[in-house]
Structure 1
Amino acid sequence: MSLDNFFQEAKTVEASNSAAYYFPLMSGRYEVKPGMMAFGSCFGNTQADQQVFQIDDNFAHYRQAKLLARGERLSKYYQTCNYSKGVAGAIARLMINRLTQEHPQHFYCQKSINNTVAFHSQLTKETIYLDAELQLQQVEGSSVVPAYASTLDALSAQVQEDLTIICRSADGSNWLSAVHLCYPNHWSAEEKIGNDFATIHAPVAGIEKINRRAGAIAHTMITHKPMVRFAWGLSTDTRLNHHPEPPPGVSVEQWQGRNFDPQHPRLYLRIERQVIWGLPEYEAALFTIRTYFRDCGVVRKDLVLRSKLREAIESMTPESLVYKGLAESKANILQWLSLSTEII
């Protein structure tokens, strides 16, 4: 396997034909807050805003990035902890139902008389066979290595989102029960699995106020109607996989990214659309993460968007700048953003 494959970059929203457009910076402030809105809220993307799983013309690249990550070492990107059969079945049912409803041209499902299920993807040409409890039996049409380890692993490879599942026990404590994270943004599935909400988010600069309400937020995720929220940061490439640990044979410096060069400026908004879908009867919630990149070279040509981005960067605390990897490059980025883009 060529190491170059690990450095392949995703298309930006601007270079795509069908990707959804989001710009969660219109307040002009960088804020650490839950920011949950009703799922299906309109952000100008019509049908895509109604979908849990958004599929666009970049599917092949996102799929390849997942297979590459899995092939490197599955346990680096996929972990479970006390992930019960009941919750696993409920998550599988939710995913299959949403995919067949949202994208009937791509997915269909056949249920047999004995309640076994065959779920087919036209995109990958794979058919996933599940038993009556939606546990993985076999996959037809797949040459994926390593072979799919579970229903969640197999279904995750059919979508452009990363997936996490939070669960709660009878005493009210919560934990990260499953995570399939092939597009990590500087965090690790192995490090976070089994931890509660507060511990998972402890490294985030400015999270203290939210973490004091961690139990209430987990309760909201599980019991409320589906919600959507956005997170954003800045990157100097459009590589989906920014795991903190580089693949074997790649140096940390080469892998890390976030080095803004004013002489050869490359800057992107890395935007995450996150959907939270509670399953209160199972004391669990599905949390999806869809990553998009917006080209700041295009953004800065729009006077409104440019000013909002500048204001948001200027509003970051020193701690947030360090956390987001911008402490050293803030001044250069702001200077570049303020330069006129008009052709003289």
Structure 2
Amino acid sequence: MVIRRPIAKPIFLDNLLLEAQTVEAFNGEVSYFPLMNGRYEVKPGMMPFGSCLGNNEADGQVFQIDENFKHYRQMKLLARAERLSKYYQTSNYSQAVAGAVACLIINRLTQEHPQYFDCQKSTANTYKFHSYLTQETLYLDADWQLQQVETQNNLAVPVYASILDALAAQIQEDLTVICRSQDGSNWLSAVHLCYPNHWSAEAKIGQDFAAIHAPVAGMEKINRRADAIVNTMIDREPMVRFAWGLSTDTRLNHHPKAPPQLSVSQWHGRSFDSQHPRLYLRIERQVIWGLPKHEAALFTIRTYFRDCSVIKKDSMLRSKLYTAIESMTPESLVYKGLVESKASILQWLADD
């Protein structure tokens, strides 16, 4: 692989605690509220991709781009610079599947955002993919594998390890790929997770669906149907689902292991202070796109934050949030890190 550009300056890691803007900070921002039934539930919750959820054309996009893009990009570069293998892992990830995933991502980006992305095919069946957002050009061979990188800015550090790594740095979503073998078993074959919500790429890579989700409180019934769910992900039409939790900051990267230069208390979060309340809904929009010809599925994770102090001003949304937190089982409260703060959060929501 040829990388064109001088050796880049190292990326400093002192900005890992920087926070993203909330949905409310931007006019016309995509906005979701996946707890309108007022209950905390653990269920597949999959609906057809493109379902109208009040966000116009954005609901039909796999990859959503907004005014937070520069921050999301910066956080990915910082995570990669800390230690790439902490956030990017593969296991039995074949070249055929890697190529199919890259082709899917590039096709969706150029279709959904032609003002930001362009892909040209040469007579030799090679590809030139350009992002106007990052000013990076990726050169791919006929199998959609990364060959060269050109940029008008400093190179990413470390240099991109693969086409999945390079494409992940062009978007605001995290990426995972699940594969299925001939005997019906499945495994997590690739994960690019720079915005982890208290879970680790290194800990999950190579595991099957049931093992990946075993720590999730309330997953027992779903895990008994794990193989059927994976079959649905791979064989059926694309789908979208949502997950949510509560956070006391809007930091995208909540890897369970703190970076070497930061203390665990600085890094962990989830400490609600009723005297100086900061509370956010951390919402994940997850798109599942099956690739049945390759016995695989791409699973994207886009993280959004909504400010609960704004939600609190809407009596209906406040009520839904209150009852959803109140409905959490003791096990779910442990899993979500809310055992000590549930009562004070509910009191804060109830206060005018």
1:15 aligned residue (15, 20, 25): 25
Q: Which moved more, 1:11-20 or 1:205-214?
A: 11-20
1:184 counterpart SS class = coil
Counterpart CA distance in 1 for 2:43 and 2:346 is: 24
Aligned residues: 340
Cα deviation code 1:80-109 (max 9, x no counterpart): 000001100000000000000000000000
Unaligned runs of 5+ in 1: none
Q: Which moved more, 1:246-255 or 1:163-172?
A: 246-255
Counterpart CA distance in 1 for 2:66 and 2:206 is: 32
Match of 2:5 in 1: none
Does residue 220 of structure 2 align to residue 199 of structure 1? no
Counterpart CA distance in 1 for 2:28 and 2:337 is: 30
Match of 1:233 in 2: 245
Match of 1:85 in 2: 95
2:52 aligned residue (38, 42, 57): 42
Is the contact made by 1:109 and 1:118 (CA closer than 8 Å) also made in structure 2? yes
Match of 1:70 in 2: 80
Question: Which amino acid is the alignment partner of residue 14 of structure 1?
Answer: E
2:303 aligned residue (291, 304, 309): 291
TM-score, length of structure 1 as denominator length: 0.98
Counterpart CA distance in 2 for 1:152 and 1:169 is: 21
2:272 counterpart SS class = coil
Counterpart CA distance in 2 for 1:98 and 1:18 is: 22
Q: Where does 1:214-225 land on structure 2 (aligned, <5 Å)?
A: 214-225=226-237
Is the contact made by 1:115 and 1:131 (CA closer than 8 Å) also made in structure 2? yes
Counterpart CA distance in 1 for 2:28 and 2:102 is: 27
1:140 aligned residue (150, 167, 175): 150
Match of 2:3 in 1: none
Is the contact made by 1:16 and 1:58 (CA closer than 8 Å) also made in structure 2? no
Residue 4 of structure 1: CA displacement? 4.0
Does residue 216 of structure 2 align to residue 177 of structure 1? no
Does residue 139 of structure 2 align to residue 129 of structure 1? yes
Counterpart CA distance in 2 for 1:299 and 1:132 is: 49
Counterpart CA distance in 2 for 1:76 and 1:135 is: 22
Counterpart CA distance in 1 for 2:49 and 2:29 is: 18
Match of 1:269 in 2: 281
1:319 aligned residue (302, 308, 331): 331
Is the contact made by 2:13 and 2:78 (CA closer than 8 Å) also made in structure 1? no
Counterpart CA distance in 2 for 1:323 and 1:200 is: 14
Does residue 292 of structure 2 align to residue 280 of structure 1? yes
Is the contact made by 2:13 and 2:81 (CA closer than 8 Å) also made in structure 1? no
Counterpart CA distance in 2 for 1:61 and 1:292 is: 13
Counterpart CA distance in 1 for 2:60 and 2:27 is: 19
Residue 319 of structure 1: CA displacement? 0.3
Question: Which amino acid is the alignment partner of residue 147 of structure 2?
Answer: Q
Is the contact made by 2:12 and 2:78 (CA closer than 8 Å) also made in structure 1? no
Counterpart CA distance in 1 for 2:208 and 2:52 is: 31
Does residue 340 of structure 2 align to residue 328 of structure 1? yes
Cα deviation code 1:28-62 (max 9, x no counterpart): 00000000000000110001000000000110000
Cα deviation code 1:82-138 (max 9, x no counterpart): 000110000000000000000000000010001000000000000000000011101
2:263 aligned residue (246, 251, 259): 251
Is the contact made by 1:65 and 1:240 (CA closer than 8 Å) also made in structure 2? yes
Is the contact made by 1:106 and 1:122 (CA closer than 8 Å) also made in structure 2? yes
Is the contact made by 1:119 and 1:127 (CA closer than 8 Å) also made in structure 2? yes
Moved over 6 A (4+): none
Is the contact made by 1:18 and 1:56 (CA closer than 8 Å) also made in structure 2? no
Residue 2 of structure 1: CA displacement? 5.4
Residue 253 of structure 1: CA displacement? 1.3
Unaligned runs of 5+ in 2: 1-10
Question: Which amino acid is the alignment partner of residue 170 of structure 1?
Answer: Q
Counterpart CA distance in 1 for 2:229 and 2:115 is: 36
TM-score, length of structure 2 as denominator length: 0.96
Does residue 161 of structure 2 align to residue 158 of structure 1? no
